[in-house]
Amino acid sequence: MKIGFIGIGSIGLPIARRLRAAGHQLVVFDTNAQALRDFVKEGGSAAANPREVANEVEIIFYSLPTPQIVREVTLGNDGVVHGSKARVIVDLSTTGPTAAIDIGRGAAARGKQLFDAPVSGGVAGVVAGTVAIMASGPKAVFTEIKPLLEAIGKVFFVGTEVGQGHAMKLLNNILSATAIAATTEAVALGVKAGLDPTVMIDVLNASSGQNTATKDKYPRSILNRTFNYGFRTDLLLKDVRLCKAFADELGVKLRVGEAVIGTWELAEPEFAHADYTNLVKVLEREAGVTIGKEQ
């Protein structure tokens, strides 16, 4: 199948590669001209803007950093809605339900169907094909695009309405953010008390305190002090703030969530555009300890 792909950054590029490896032809667009040239060398073809992508293919995937960019790519002057051929927009980004519903209405007014498919699992999960995909939208569209989604990762159909997949992604990300923050506080306290952080992580992973931070982030990127998990702090903050706004809309209090957001905001001035595992540096400085050591 010939499909479109807009946004070939740190997450989008390996997703696009998986789709290409599954035998599909890709027409791609990104504002990063070098990224476009590099992907064309791998076998894709480039378009000058989102409208041109939508002139060539019926199904377009997005992997974009913010809801504002999703809106512009979809509804802007050179947006996908102005393309002559595109029918379905599959949004792999973390857009949030409110923006997704609004953008979806604008797309529907021009005969395009927006479909939620945010992913979770990081760059390594994309490469391995193990990411969770939280799909929602019309069942007929899901049936059509399911084989494409299965080329990327493990697919969960969470609802028939646009926005439900993005709601699920926000819930996932606030829990993931909580795991890193809470684990780091606990480990910093343990180091202060003289415990070995590697031993602590091993014990936690065999005990009831295990979570995604102890099982993945700490062994891969924190204990060895590489801080290179593959996701930026500002994007994580965007996600947890979207979750707070979503909760406010529904009148749900996020007491723990608000504390978690406040903790992540401590890292924003210094590490906004750096890997989000750098939060550890902020919390360990406050505790007067160093967690792990360079390999």
Which active-site residues does the annotation give? 169
Q: Give the SS3 label for residue 294.
A: coil
Query: Euclidean distance between the first and final Cα of the chain, in Å?
Result: 45
* H helix intervals, the chain: 12-21, 33-42, 50-56, 67-75, 97-108, 122-128, 139-150, 164-192, 197-205, 212, 233-250, 255-265, 268-271, 279-287
- Mark 162-186 as b/e (b = at least 16 C-beta within 10 Å): bbbbbbbbbebbbebbbbbbbbbee
Tell which residue, 135, 143, 152, has the closest CA to residue 21.
152
Token pair 């890997």: residue: 275
Residues 87 and 111: beta-carbon distance below 8 Å:
yes
For 287, counting Cβ atoms within 10 Å of its Cβ (0-12 exposed, 13-18 middle, 19+ buried), the class is middle
Amino acid at 175: L
What's the rounded Cα separation, in Å, for the pair 287 and 294? 19
Q: Token pair of 187, please? A: 């480990």
What's the rounded Cα separation, in Å, for the pair 5 and 224? 35
Q: How far are the Cα atoms of 209, 210, 217, 224 from residue 203, in angstroms, in the given order?
A: 9, 9, 15, 18
